[in-house]
Structure 1
Amino acid sequence: MAETKGSRQAKGISWAQFLARAATVGAAGVAGPAGQARAAQARRGRGLRRRGVVSTVGAGKTPGTAWSARQMRHDIRAIREDLHADTVDVMGDGVERLTKTAVEAAERGLHVWLQPTLGDAPRRDILEHIAETGRFAERLRRQGARVDFSVGCEFWLFVPGILPGETVLERIDNLQNGTVDRPGMQRRLAEFTVRAAKVGRSVFRGNLGYAAAQSIDAREFISADAPHRPDEPRLDLDMASYALTKVIRVRRPDDPASGWHWEPKEAFRAVARRYGAAGHRTSQSQERSEAGRSPVARKRETARSPQALPLAR
């Protein structure tokens, strides 16, 4: 599957990097009252509705951290079997990376939030990237996979022209410096969000959304470009990472071509315990519900199960 022109040109930014940068400018204040209201509503909610984690699928910043289908499959298996997650937010740029990861997750029975986040590219390319990813998400949904589609994340930083600046970092600097027309920014943000939503709805018929950092307690599964350096704490990028795992480079931590592997952090173990317990409770509840249903109803439900259907690649 070919990638869009924009996805080849764009310089990716990970979810963890975005959250760290957005935090410096107070993302909730920029997102506006609607986003703040959603965040407050989420805090008032009770229970654990989804046991999820973010999986970023960028190209990688070095030869050693370039995206790999083999590594992706290893990570998705761990997310399902070791972390006990039932949902994965597949986000990043590159239609082929996004769709291959979404298929792998769906075939393992995970609920997929598919979120293309092409940044620092022409608006036309961003909208094309949304449309191409959305078309695949719709095919996957029609085959029975549990798929929701997000048209993007925090357009005010990722999309050129809403804030002044050629890159995400320049736009953050301008926001911090106060050189921003906020009413104009809100108007441009609303206009592009409407365009993106129309594109998304034109190709996807399931649940459609838009991600805002302040309404999500986000944890990234891995941040391959933030290696752990226990012997040099000042250079330990993992300490600033939101990831549940730490990246250990095989050779020197500063060697961009080095191979690597990940190890679970204590945060991984804590989340896995909670997710595992929640999953056990859910299974018990489903078993009790299933016991009360007729054999005909159970047979009909099995026929509709995503696991009973081949998924397009």
Structure 2
Amino acid sequence: MRIIKPCTYTVLSLALPSVTQMTMAQDAHHSMPMSAQHESPSHDSSHQVMQIGIESSQMKHPAEHAEHAEHAEHANASSIASRAASAQHPVDHKREHGGQIYQATEIDSRWLNNADGRGRLKTEIESRIGTDENKLFIKLHADKAESQDADYAAQVMYSRMISDFWDAQIGARYRVDEHQVTDKEQLDAAVGLHGLAPYFFETDAYLYFGTDNQVSFSLETERDLLLTQKLILKPYLNLDVVLSDDSAYAQKTGLSSVWLGLETRYEINKKLMPFIDVAYSYEKGNQHTARQAETGSEKQWWYGVGLRLKF
């Protein structure tokens, strides 16, 4: 009994402060508002857990955190440097959006015969160079009837895009007519349109203004109809209208000439294309002047073969 009593006294003396502290904590808890009782413990505990997790992660992997920090600093520095370089040297995207310069040349040569067996060689060369918005067109034309001298024409046009499918053109045409005794060489101003008419008809329309009140209009239009990927039909129409002409070798006013044809070509590749051609022509003739006698109109069929080159 003497041994038990001191032990009991010791245990009670140690437990009494703990019980007192627990009682005080419970009283304080009951005196707090309900919102504080529910919010504060969870907030403090979650914050402590997060802080402990971050500190433990940093203590476990210090090298990885240093590497990530270095990488972030390097990325930020690169981004700032690229923005500064873009501000000082803005990138020009014209080459990626139609600003590049391109060149294309087409040579079209055909030999035609009429019902009387008379032959005619017609050659057209067209070259263009420039961008989608601004181009230079160079056109050469030669027309030689059998046993006669050839007629030549060269045309240089500046072309400016005015819509998605049309270019406005202005330039000059130089022509040589060996049938005339005088004034064989003529120089005309030219304005016109080049583009794609409705239903995909590629069209060239020009007005020409020359000396001696020579004003004329020409229209060339054509359309490709694919039978296969290589066999293609192309109906075409070429016409000339004389609006006025007071020259010594004047043509009759009105519809002066018409060529209406159908070309059937086979594209061996995009550079070499042989074809056959069937066409109907109408020519009104010339007026009576001091230099020439009046001539009547001519209507005839033409047929033949040709070769087109592109490069």
The answer to whether TM tops 0.5 is no
Q: What is the TM-score with the length of structure 2 in the denominator?
A: 0.28
Higher strand share: 2
Q: If you compute each CA radius of gyration, which structure gives the higher value, 1 or 2?
A: 2
Q: Given the two structures, how large is their TM-score scaled by the length of structure 1?
A: 0.28
